[in-house]
Amino acid sequence: MPSKKALVRRPSPRLAEGLVTHIEREKVDLDLAVEQWEAYTEALRTHGWETIEVDPADDCPDSVFVEDTVVMYRNVALIARSGAESRREETAGVEEAVASLGCSVNWIWEPGTLDGGDVLKVGDTIYVGRGGRTNAAGVQQLRAAFEPLGARVVAVPVSKVLHLKSAITALPDGTILGRIPQLDAPSLFPRFLPVPEESGAHVVLLGGDKLLIAASAPKTAELLADLGHETVPVDISEFEKLEGCVTCLSVRMRELYV
Ligand SMILES: NC(=O)NCCC[C@H](N)C(=O)O
């Protein structure tokens, strides 16, 4: 059944200690981050999404990046097991939240690792990045969880960025957005639109032609508006300092049965 619920998680007071892998560490302003998070969740609500707050995980600096903890396909929630050990405690609260929403719950088990940021769904195709956070066992377990439900899982090597979705996301029509230099194997994607800014590779589909996009990607927003999309910019500068992007701050749930 169509649903428009989105899991979100309030930033931890320890946000500034979040992991940084591919960029230089910059000072994070926690108060500004909280303001930006509130504006982000408000933008979801303005566009018809009910936001559901997962219990905060104040001891986990990266817990605001809730997308990494779970992958939804239909009514099934696959609880991730991060390739970054410091992020593994984050899943307990998320597991409770998805169970209380009536999802069937499944898990990535040791030795598998997988971050939700490595998983991009385009219709029934699920691209999964095999890289720093997601290993081969994680890919196999994702396949075993979702292929029986009708998904086609396509594994993609990722070595230049943190997650697959640091490099690409998809428009409502399935066109992949991204920048070729950040991809190991761009030819895997059938319809590809290069964007002018790195943060322009990330959009959240709000419904219809509406796209949430980072305020740091104004040229991409212009390009997408020129192609007939309505863009909704949000400033997420404090999360970008920790390699976060617009997708990682929520988990959209579109096919719940409750
Ligand atoms: N899905 C995402 O893009 N997640 C961003 C995670 C950033 C966090 N600092 C991390 O390194 O795990």
Mutational test site, ligand 1, from 9, 25, 68, 91, max ligand atoms within 8 Å of CB:
68
Which atom, in ligand 1's list, is nearest to the CA of 67?
1
Per-residue pLDDT at 10: 98
pLDDT greater than 90 at residue 2: no
CA 242 vs CA 6, 27, 57, 58, 138: distances in Å: 22, 10, 17, 17, 24
For the four alpha carbons of 129, 161, 71 and 60, in that order, the dihedral sign comes to positive
Which atom, in ligand 1's list, is nearest to the CA of 115?
1
Q: What is the 3-state secondary structure (H, E, C) of 14-40?
A: CHHHCCCCCCCCCCCCHHHHHHHHHHH
Q: Band of the pLDDT at 62, cuts 50, 70, 90?
A: very high
Q: What is the pTM of this model?
A: 0.97
Per-residue pLDDT at 186: 95
According to DSSP, residue 67 is labeled G
pLDDT greater than 90 at residue 257: no
Mean pLDDT of 40-67: 98
Q: How far is the CA of 64 from the centre of ligand 1 (A)?
A: 9
Q: How far is the CA of 115 from the centre of ligand 1 (A)?
A: 9
Per-residue pLDDT at 148: 97
Chain segment 125-159, per-residue pLDDT in tens:
999 999 999 999 999 999 999 999 999 999 999 99
User: Contact at 8 Å (CB) between 160 and 182?
Assistant: yes
Rounded (to 5) percent helix, strand, coil in the chain? 35, 25, 40
Q: How far is the CA of 76 from the centre of ligand 1 (A)?
A: 22
Chain segment 168-218, per-residue pLDDT in tens:
999 999 999 999 999 999 999 999 999 999 999 999 999 999 999 999 999
Which atom, in ligand 1's list, is nearest to the CA of 84?
12
What residue's CA is closest to ligand 1, atom 11? 19
Mutational test site, ligand 1, from 67, 162, 247, max ligand atoms within 8 Å of CB:
162
Chain segment 99-127, per-residue pLDDT in tens:
999 999 999 999 999 999 999 999 999 99
Pocket lined around ligand 1, Cβ cut-off 6 Å = 18-19, 21, 62, 65, 67-68, 84, 87, 117, 162-163, 165-166, 242-245, 248
Q: Band of the pLDDT at 167, cuts 50, 70, 90?
A: very high
Q: How far is the CA of 169 from the centre of ligand 1 (A)?
A: 15
Mean pLDDT of 233-243: 98
Per-residue pLDDT at 12: 98
Coil, strand or helix at 178: strand
Q: How far is the CA of 93 from the centre of ligand 1 (A)?
A: 18
What residue's CA is closest to ligand 1, atom 12? 19
Q: Band of the pLDDT at 258, cuts 50, 70, 90?
A: low
Catalytic residues, by residue number, are: 163, 248
Percent residues over pLDDT 90 in the chain: 97
Chain segment 69-110, per-residue pLDDT in tens:
999 999 999 999 999 999 999 999 999 999 999 999 999 999
User: Contact at 8 Å (CB) between 130 and 136?
Assistant: yes
Mean pLDDT of 218-230: 98
What residue's CA is closest to ligand 1, atom 10? 19
